C-alpha cells in the first residue's frame, strides 16, 4: 500500500493524514525519526521526573507515548488533528489499561488547553510535517512561517515556568533555530544524535 503523498506539501494537511490513517490496518504504527529506546537518554536528562505532565504534539500512531508509559511516564496527553487516528489510538490504548494516558483531537496551532499546565511538551516530527512545501527551504512561505510560529507560541503558552519543549527533527539548526528562538520566553539548546545520518534534538526551557 503506497502511503506517500503525491506532493510533500500534503504532509501538512489534515486530509492526507485522515486518509492515510483510514487506510492503515488496525494496530499499524509509524514513527518519524527515532524511537523511545533511542531517545531515552534525552528524556532521562530533560524529563527525569516520571510524574511530569507531558503533552505529545501530533502524536499520530507513533509508539513513543506507549513506550514512555511503559517506562513509567503515566501522565501523558496526546493530541492530533486527525480524528481518525485519535479514535484508533483510544481503542489501542484504552484508559482502563493505561490510566493517565489521554487522546484528544486538537490542532497543535490552537490548543484547547490551559496556560502553564504542562511540565514537558514533545514534538517528534510534527513541525517537520508543517514545514513540508514546495519552494525555498531557506526562505519558507509566510503561511509556513505563521503555522510554525503558532505551534511554538502554543507550546510556550501551555508550558509551566521552567517547563521544557523537546523537539526531535532532521532539521538542521540553520533551518530550525530561527523558528524556535524566543529569547524573552525561553532558552534554547541543540543536541545532535545519530551516526551515519544526524538528527537534532532542540530543548527549550521556559523562563
In this predicted model, what pLDDT tens digit does every residue of 27-80 receive, in sequence order? 788 887 889 999 999 999 999 999 999 999 999 999 999 999 999 999 999 999
Residue 173 vs residues 99, 123, 139, 192: alpha-carbon distances, Å: 37, 16, 14, 10
Domain ranges for the chain, please list them.
8-26+33-206
Nearest C-alpha neighbor of 190 from the set 165, 154, 155: 165
Report the interhelical angle of 14-23 vs 83-92 (nearest 10°): 40
Are 173 and 130 within 8 A, CB to CB? no
| Topology at the third CATH level for domain 8-26+33-206 | Rossmann fold (3.40.50)
Binning the chain into helix, strand and coil, the percentages to the nearest 5 are 35, 25, 40
pLDDT band at 1 (very low <50, low <70, confident <90, very high): very low
Residue with cell 515556568: 161
Question: What pLDDT, in 10s, does the model give residues 82-117?
Answer: 999 999 999 999 999 999 999 999 999 999 999 999
Amino acid at each position: 500500500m503506497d502511503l506517500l503523498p503525491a506532493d510533500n506539501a500534503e504532509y501538512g494537511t489534515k486530509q492526507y493524514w485522515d486518509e492515510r490513517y483510514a487506510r492503515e490496518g488496525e494496530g499499524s504504527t509509524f514513527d518519524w525519526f527515532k524511537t523511545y529506546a533511542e531517545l531515552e537518554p534525552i528524556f532521562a536528562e530533560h524529563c527525569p521526573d516520571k510524574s511530569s505532565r507531558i503533552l505529545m504534539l501530533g502524536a499520530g500512531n507513533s509508539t513513543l507515548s506507549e513506550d514512555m508509559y511503559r517506562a513509567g511516564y503515566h501522565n501523558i496527553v496526546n493530541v492530533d488533528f486527525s480524528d481518525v487516528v485519535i479514535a484508533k489510538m483510544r481503542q489501542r490504548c484504552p484508559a482502563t489499561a493505561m490510566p493517565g494516558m489521554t487522546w484528544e483531537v486538537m490542532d497543535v496551532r490552537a490548543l484547547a488547553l490551559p496556560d502553564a499546565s504542562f511540565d514537558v511538551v514533545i514534538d517528534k516530527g510534527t513541525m517537520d510535517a508543517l514545514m513540508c512545501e514546495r519552494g525555498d527551504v531557506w526562505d519558507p512561505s509566510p503561511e509556513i512561517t505563521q503555522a510554525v510560529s503558532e505551534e511554538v507560541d502554543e507550546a510556550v503558552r501551555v508550558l509551566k515556568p521552567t517547563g521544557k519543549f523537546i523537539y526531535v527533527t532532521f532539521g538542521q539548526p540553520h533551518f530550525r533555530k530561527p523558528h524556535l528562538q524566543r529569547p524573552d520566553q525561553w532558552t534554547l539548546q541543540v543536541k545532535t544524535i545519530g551516526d551515519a545520518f544526524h538528527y537534532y534534538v532542540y530543548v527549550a526551557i521556559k523562563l
